Amino acid sequence: MSSETPSQKLPGYVIFISSVAAIGGFLFGFDSGVINGTVEALQETFNASDFGTGFNVSSMLLGCALGAFIAGGMADKFGRKPVMIATAIGFLISAIGSGLANTTTVFVIFRFIGGVSVGAASVIAPAYIAEVSPAVFRGRLASLQQLAIVIGLFIAFISNYLIAKAAGSAKNDFWFGIDAWRWMFWIECIPAILFGIGAAIAPESPRYLVAKNKDEQAAAVLKRVHILTTVEQKIKEIHDSLRSQEPPKFRDVLEPGTSRIRTIVWIGIGLSVFQQFVGINVIFYYGAVLWKAAGFTEDQALLMNVISGFVNVSATFVAIATIDKIGRKPLLLVGSIGMALMLGAVAVVFASAGLNEEGTLALSKTQGLIALICVHLYIFAFAISWGPVVWVMLGEMFNNRYRGAALGIAASAQWFANFAITITFPVMLGTIGLAGAYGTYTFFALLSVAFVWFLIKETKGRELEEM
């Protein structure tokens, strides 16, 4: 059981190194959101079809799946810190290359590299934060990952809006006569460099050090990051949870003596998939396209993205304040119910809307207002629940022995689900329309209620060694 109590003070050093890891989440969010304001400019620059446009946007997600899949094993083999540094370098290369691209092929290659970094960050940041955090504060500290993601999205939306507004459009020239959309990608170089510097300064995870039999180094880190009666007792607990002195292996995610994946890993995969199948990233990747399809101008659509980002960030603060008090499972249930109601309402609004002379949706003022309110209530419901809680649980629900590998599998599944949702949205938009798309996401939100109710167990306040 934990020797920590809620009345004890959280060490500032823990906040610092957790924040450094969370910069990976910021880059994750920025890299995911920056594409939003460039979709139409990319389509025109590369003369892409609807499917091609979908692939330009979603190609990063294939890299994400690969990065998430290999990151856990790499982190268990080489350490959390080296993988974070390599991830920062990948973000920098992707940002520069995506902005320089003159063909779809070159663009997809550099976005794929960025995707590998995003996928790696989605695994390493929550694992690292969970492993350096005192149990009583772990929910709030692990929520820094999601807070950083949504801030990254928000900053990307603001950056895109300001650049497009200054240039007149993402398609127009901006500084030095270079296309505005290229500058949208290059802005990412700044946080990528900061992440690399921070990762170089941060210590290695004490649980990784114990796994490598570096107890003295682990003790030095634990003395700075944990609120403990004895560091020696904590090291013993970690050793006991690892069950042996052998390094963790990927096959540890299998049931002993079988080729079956452990049930807890399947539940982690389920959390990851449902987080994407409720359609949240359609708004974050295609927000400008979505609102323009609903009858708004480009300038209004980009401003909607900023509002969405603000709601997302604000709600995440609510989640951080409540996750260690209310718990993980209640937040997931509230979020699922809220998302299902709001998505269903939006689907009804789009289904009842008329068409203009060009054959696109023409919402009345009342319909537009209802859609605007419901979409942002949906974002709020997601951001207080499935956004942060999934990352917190993936970082803490697995045994020390196979956390890196299991988290990698679950996160990889999340990116494949994200890819499926992202690449199908332009096709759905052109076939079953916004109403059909939102009806589909409503269905998955309803399924997520049953998934949480029957399969999710509470992890609030439990030490990682108890999992």
Q: Could you please report the per-residue DSSP string of 335-347? A: HHHHHHHHHHHHH
Calpha distance 445→427 (Å, rounded)? 21
Residue 369 has pLDDT above 70, yes or no: yes
pLDDT digits 0-9 by tens, 294-312: 667 767 777 787 888 889 8
Per-residue confidence (pLDDT) for residue 48, from 0 to 100: 64
Q: Calculate Rg over the CA atoms of the chain.
A: 22
Calpha distance 34→29 (Å, rounded)? 8
Per-residue confidence (pLDDT) for residue 10, from 0 to 100: 58
Q: Please report, rounded to a whole number, the percentage of residues in the chain having pLDDT higher than 70.
A: 82
pLDDT band at 343 (very low <50, low <70, confident <90, very high): very high
Residue 1 has pLDDT above 50, yes or no: no
CA-CA-CA-CA torsion sign (426, 428, 430, 435)? negative
Over residues 208-224, the mean pLDDT reads 76
Question: Which residues, 6+ apart, have CB-to-CB distance to 109 below 8 Å?
Answer: 97
Phi, psi for residue 154 in degrees, rounded to 5: -60, -45
Instruction: For the chain, give the mean pLDDT.
Output: 81
Per-residue confidence (pLDDT) for residue 434, from 0 to 100: 81
Phi, psi for residue 45 in degrees, rounded to 5: -65, -45
Per-residue confidence (pLDDT) for residue 180, from 0 to 100: 86
Could you give the residue ranges of the DSSP H alpha helices within 250-327? 263-277, 280-293, 298-326
As given in the structure block, the two tokens for residue 163 are 């650049």
pLDDT digits 0-9 by tens, 231-279: 666 666 666 666 544 555 667 788 777 888 888 899 999 999 999 999 8
